[in-house]
Amino acid sequence: MKRKYFIEKVIVVIVIFTFCITAIIPVVGTSNIVNTKKVLSNCIDDEFLLPPPQDTNMILEEAIFRRCSIREFSDEPVSIEDISTILWNAYGYRDDGSRNIKCFNENPGVNIYVLIKNETAKLDVFRYDPYLHLLHFYKKISSFSFGQYRAPIYIGLVWDQEKSDNEWDVGAEIGEIGQNIAFTANAFNLGSVINADVGPGAYMAKVELLPSEIPRILIPIGYPKFGYNFKYLPLYFSPLPRIKYSDMTLSEAIKNRREETSWNGKLSLHEQVQMLWSTYGFSYLLDKAESEFTYHITRHRTVPSAHGYYPLDIYAFTEKGVYFYYPNMLLYLTGYPRIDFLGIPIVPFMKKVVKSDFREELAEACSQQAIASAPLSIVIILNLDRTRPEGRDDFSGEEFRWMWYYEAGASALNVLLEATAWNLSANIYKIQDNNLICSTLNLDETISKSIYAIPIGK
């Protein structure tokens, strides 16, 4: 009898314990965020462990081709599993303790907030803990007129000055985070758009951030109101080889991305073009989706650009000389805009601008001697003239420089992912001597600002 009574008692305890746990912790199998929100709102003082990130089956190049800005969202909720994966891909820690982005300082200077709509037309605000991969409840705020675009969730990227005092480095890190968010959201058939969130009217200011935090980017995320509708139509005319699909998925590229410190061997022309395309190239897909906006970009580029200025110049340093990369000469020769609203043919081109091997000079400009042996180094240079086009907003001031570092960080991350997919080694280095680069390329140092060098090799 005692044994029977003991067994019954154990069973009761197990049942009660299971019930309590499921009442507190978000259910991993929840199909959408609504059920999870009820749990979170009932336990505002607790921490909530996110489910493990999922893998995406989308090939890396397809994810880059499909990168685009979605501004119209449906009311369909986003699953907690998708949110978990987006956050981890954006800024999480991998098994080896490294982050999912290239960090330019010992302490990455970005904090992430997640804002989720609840049933009372308010937003539940959470802080993301990347180390433990969990959410901390922060507060509730009104969702009325929150953000330029109405979406089920928002991700706020803020600069924490206590972690890093280098505004431009943090801008580049935010660019990497934003790129991983856009790729991952699209791979789950979600949409996103990058919004600069600065100044007195910053939306994230409504959250009442910590004193050390400054709003930078707000990203609405949700299912596109009209759905995706891509058509493969490269219309490719160029002596350069076409972009190929690798065998690596987006998830594999993010998990296996590495930062090497030595580069050797030789790269084929295809490998060189593949890396250059990832920085600033055009998609082979035409975007045929419906839209209520007065303008619609038909052929997207590998990274977004504030106001569509695309002010970065891309150079290739090789043993044979230095080349300027034209992502599409048909647009570049016409000046502004550098956005394809029509789906015109793609005509990429590499123009030799220096006939000598200047890899030693590049290594000196970066204070990294090993760069001199890299068969290819991609150099990203900001052209200030293109940040102040006639008749349009002037973003050439240093107070806006972080935005262009965002773009450079996004471009550089694409190279690291592509290098991983093609079993190449790569890294990103800050260029410390702008005058040396400008004298090498015969550029005006008051207009051209060298940002990064990306050595690539075997």
Domains of the chain: 2-222 (3.40.109.10), 230-457 (3.40.109.10)
Backbone φ/ψ region at 179: left (φ over 0), alpha (ψ -120 to 50), beta? alpha
SS3 413: helix
- DSSP string for 310-379: --EEEEEEETTEEEEEES-HHHHTT-S---BSS-PPB--EEEEEE-S--HHHHHHHHT-GGGGG-SEEEE
* 3-state helix, strand and coil shares in percent for the chain, rounded to the nearest 5: 35, 25, 45
Backbone angles phi, psi at 39, to 5 degrees: -65, -45
Vertex 285: Cα angle to 284 and 291 (nearest 5): 145
Report the amino acid identity of residue 369: Q
CB atoms within 10 A of CB 363: 21
392, containing H or E segment:
none
> How do the pLDDT tens digits run along the chain, 458 residues long?
434 333 443 333 333 333 333 333 333 333 334 444 444 443 445 788 999 999 999 999 999 999 999 999 999 999 999 999 999 999 999 989 999 999 998 888 999 999 998 877 788 999 999 999 999 999 998 876 777 899 999 999 999 999 999 999 999 999 999 999 999 999 999 999 999 999 888 999 989 999 999 999 999 999 999 999 999 999 999 999 999 999 999 999 999 999 999 999 999 999 999 999 999 999 999 999 998 877 899 999 999 999 999 999 999 999 999 999 999 999 988 877 799 999 999 999 999 999 999 999 999 999 999 999 999 999 999 999 999 999 999 999 999 999 999 999 999 999 999 999 999 999 999 999 999 999 999 999 999 999 999 999 99
CA angle 209, 213, 216 (to 5 degrees): 100
Question: What letter does residue 189 receive in the DSSP assignment?
Answer: T
> What tokens were used for 320?
């044979």
CA R_g for the chain: 24
pTM of the predicted model over 0.75: yes
